Homo-oligomer: A and B are copies of this chain.
Amino acid sequence: MQTFNDDGTTLETAARPMRIQRAALHDKIVERLHDLITEGDLKPGERINERELADRLAVSRTPLREALRVLAAEKLVTISPNYGTFVTRMTRQEIHDTFELMSALERFSGELACLRITAGELTAIREAHEAMLGHWQRHDLPAYYHANQRIHDLINRAARNDALRQIYLSLNRRLHPLRLSSNRSEAKWRRAVEEHREMMAALETRDGSALGALMERHLLEKRDAVLADWTDD
Taking CB as reference atom, which chain B residue is nearest A105?
A: B104
Q: Map CB proximity to B onto A162-191 as digits: 1 under 8 Å, 0 otherwise.
A: 111011000100000000000000000000
Closest B residue, CB atoms, query A65? B66
Q: How large is the interface on A (under 10, 10 to 19, 20 to 34, 35 or more residues)?
A: 35 or more
In the complex, what residues of B have CB within 8 A of residue A46's CB? none
Q: Please, how many angstroms separate the alpha-carbon atoms of A16 and B84 in the complex?
A: 13
A88 to B15, CA, bound (A): 9
Is A144's beta carbon under 8 Å from chain B? Answer: no
Separation of A48 and B94 alpha carbons in the complex (Å): 35
Contacts of A161 in B (CB 8 A): 97, 100-101
Closest B residue, CB atoms, query A93: B162
A94 to B216, CA, bound (A): 25
Contact partners of A69 in chain B: CB under 8 A: 26, 66-67, 69-70, 73
**Could you tell me which residues of chain A, from 10 to 51, have a CB within 8 Å of some CB in chain B?**
12, 14-16, 19, 21-24, 26-27, 45
Contacts of A171 in B (CB 8 A): 163
Min CB gap A170→B, angstroms:
9
Docked complex Cα distance between A72 and B2 (Å):
13
In the bound complex, residues from chain B placing their C-beta under 8 Å from that of A164 are: 97, 100-101, 104
Taking the nearest CB of chain B, how far is it from the CB of A47, in angstroms? 11
* Complex: A89 Cα to B70 Cα, angstroms: 20
Instruction: Please give, as numbers and ranges, the residues of chain B lying within 8 Å of A65 by CB-CB distance.
Output: 66
Mark the stretch among A74-82, A126-134, A146-154, A194-202 that contacts chain B: A74-82
Kindly supply a per-residue 1/0 record for chain A positions 80-118, scoring 1 wherever the CB is within 8 Å of any chain B CB and 0 otherwise. 111100101101011001101100110110001000000
Task: Kindly list 5 other residue pairs between chains A and B, CB separation below 8 angstroms, not including A65-B66, A69-B69, A97-B161.
Answer: A21-B81, A24-B79, A69-B73, A93-B162, A104-B107
A to B CB contacts below 8 Å, 21 in the list: A14-B88, A15-B78, A15-B80, A15-B86, A21-B80, A21-B81, A21-B83, A23-B81, A24-B82, A66-B69, A69-B69, A69-B70, A70-B73, A94-B163, A97-B161, A97-B162, A97-B164, A100-B161, A101-B163, A101-B164, A104-B104
